[in-house]
A = this chain, B = another copy of it.
Amino acid sequence: MEGRKLRRSLVLSISISLFLLLTWLHLPSSPENFIKKPGPTHHESDVPHHPLDPLTVHEFNKVRAILATHPLFESSSTYSLNAIALEEPDKELVLKWKRGDPLLPRKASVTAMVNGKSHILLVDLNTSEVSYNELGSTSGYPILTIEETARILEVPFKNVEFNGTIAQRGINMGDVKCVPLSSGWYNMPIENKRRVIKVQCFSMKDSVNFYMKPIEGLTVLIDMDREEVLHIFDNGRGIPVAKGIDTDYRYSVQKLRGELHLFNPISMEQPKGPSFIVEDGHLVKWANWEFHLKADPRAGIIISQAKVRDPDTSEMRSVMYKGFTSELFVPYMDPTDAWYFKTYMDAGEYGFGLQAMPLDPLNDCPRNAYYMDAVFAAADATPYLRPNIICVFETYAGDIAWRHAETPFNNFKVTEVRPKVNLVVRMAASVGNYDYIVDWEFQTDGLIRSKVGLSGMLMVKGTIYDHMNQVPSEEYLYGPLLSENLIGVIHDHYIIYYLDLDIDGTDNSFTKVNIKKHETSPGESPRKSYLKAIRNVAKTEKDAQIRLSLYDPSEFHMTNPSKKTKIGNPVGYKVVPSGTAASLLDPEDPPQKRAAFTNNQIWVTPYNKSEEWAGGLFAYQSKGDDTLQVWSNRDRPIEKKDIVLWYTLGFHHIPCQEDYPIMPTVSSSFDLKPVNFFERNPILRLPPNFKHDLPLCSSHHLP
């Protein structure tokens, strides 16, 4: 690494240092005394303990050193390492591995852009060998790096036309704040065969909440690799920048308007401390659960090898080999120049984990939370720390795990109630304006709830209107008027989960238990109809392409056909949808093809190590040739096989004034729930709360 590369590398290092500094400054105040962080805080001495542990500081540095002498980078003028993560060992090996065994060989998977072309390399950290993985011919590019995004955001400011239009609009260049927008893929000549990005700008005058002050209609198309402006779309000059009065949501500013003190302090307290431990930095053990937990730059949270204890045998039984948010899709519903392309796939384009910020203790998570850091890598493989990116905490909201009170008719008194205490694993990713709160909630009854909360800022559109009575036809606004000169453009959110359920082993089947009306025969019964449950085992992938329907309902079971309960039911888990939304876009619309994983709510595919990213490994500018839809259409056998279930959680969002200037959290979830997995209610022996278990508390004395 010499000459230009070294200089490039130096520039990168400086920008990373700046970035780290910013991140580091953010370190929250120390968590409560009883929440100890088990490992060293600075991670320099971290060593992997488990085959699935993420790459350590030392390992990233080793990758950097190994690649420094690799011919691919030796001969290139520019390159970046867009994704570096542990190449997980083969599932078979991980499943056999036990604590105390020697660690499996450590490998890093590296996605590199070299002279505008994508490469995947596999770096053996034990042997220092580097091998290429064949790329095939799929379209698309890797995740943006923080460094290239930072560079791109400077490009418009060097452009005369851009400076001109900003000046013409009467906006002070010092107030202009721009954001990088992935441009999707629309088979347009100017965007083909090059990596492009669109930049849209805002005014930060008088408010940090620049999102509420768009410079409407101005979009700068940039060649990412050449770092040059390709085209400026500029057709919103008549649209004023919204005034943004009182849009600054910061406490320091809002306090001046008068705090809204609505309730006294309330806190979850655990006088004997939390009930979980985090072993070797990543293995969470709580109540009857254990699982491996890590942060991933693309997926965010990865849960691995989730196992639940059988109360009868004390055996830890496998539920899920791996679960994570595989991709997002956020299409906006406005076909005009400055908006049509806004159809984001946040995980594959920006990195869902990369966009996660350190959590605010006492507010993002309760005081009894444990925090986990992430070590990610800059574009030259230099490791950097994201502190407190995941939190883990127990929660009790006053809910009831089970109960029964007997009616006094029966001449005996019974009231038996058990409190519900769950464990939550949380990350909050701020993908630009939007904040996604991702929760994995583990329950003692064996249920896993995956929940997504949406907050942050809307992507709003400038308009000439400041009152609805000026609007000729509401239909052509592409969304409701939210404030003077601002429209909340209608959009959807989809989050697809990769759920490699392994119910008591890898060989599972997917069964649709269809609930069907059955008419009685004449004279059979005073009833005309009743419902039957019809079980259909999916033979191939197409049998498991599921669209939910309220009037054709089913349960969706993942079972182990070779493992039965004592009375002969196959053990299983079911996926239980809750509120959700389905994509209604034309299947041939380019964004819908790229995000074809939203064509169904449920899919089941045979386990395939290379099929993890539902929108394609290279989602950026992809054409939709490497999606879950493409894989599933191969219609491979899935019965009694190692299979993966995919579930998509959806939201339609028609904004309203309450979403301005920052949105109250809206959330939805789905459950993974045991169904004949246990012989009986697994928490029958749970004790109730007794008064002497609860803490004695007093007000905090102000210093």
Contact = CB atoms under 8 A, between A and B. Distances in A.
Interface string A454-466: 0111000000001
By Cβ-Cβ distance, the 9 closest A-B pairs, closest first, are A468-B568, A335-B525, A397-B397, A357-B405, A363-B417, A262-B287, A265-B693, A186-B526, A578-B579
A340 B271 contact: no
Interface stretch (A318-326, A476-484, A611-619, A626-634): A476-484
Interface in A668-699: 668, 674-699
A530 B265 contact: no
Interface string A547-578: 11111010100000000110111000000111
A217 interface: no
Contacts of A260: 288, 311, 683-687
A262 B275 contact: yes
A223 to B, nearest CB: 18
8 contacts: A262-B683, A271-B697, A363-B419, A404-B456, A468-B564, A478-B530, A550-B581, A658-B678
Contact of A525 (B146, B340, B569): B340
A398 B266 CA distance: 10
Nearest to A532: B475
A534 B259 contact: no
Contact of A355 (B407, B527, B662, B676): B407
Taking chain A's interface residues, is the majority helix, strand, or loop, or is none over half, making it mixed?
A: loop
B676 A656 contact: yes
Interface residues of A, number: 210
B529 A22 contact: no
Contacts of A415: 26, 357-358, 360
B660 A420 contact: no
Given A420-B665, A661-B684, A691-B29, A528 B586 contact: yes
Contacts of A60: none
A428 interface: yes
A533 interface: yes
Interface stretch (A82-90, A372-380, A516-524): A516-524
Given A424-B398, A662-B681, A591 B527 contact: yes
B528 A590 contact: yes
Interface string A625-662: 00000000000000000000000000010101111111
A414 B433 CA distance: 12
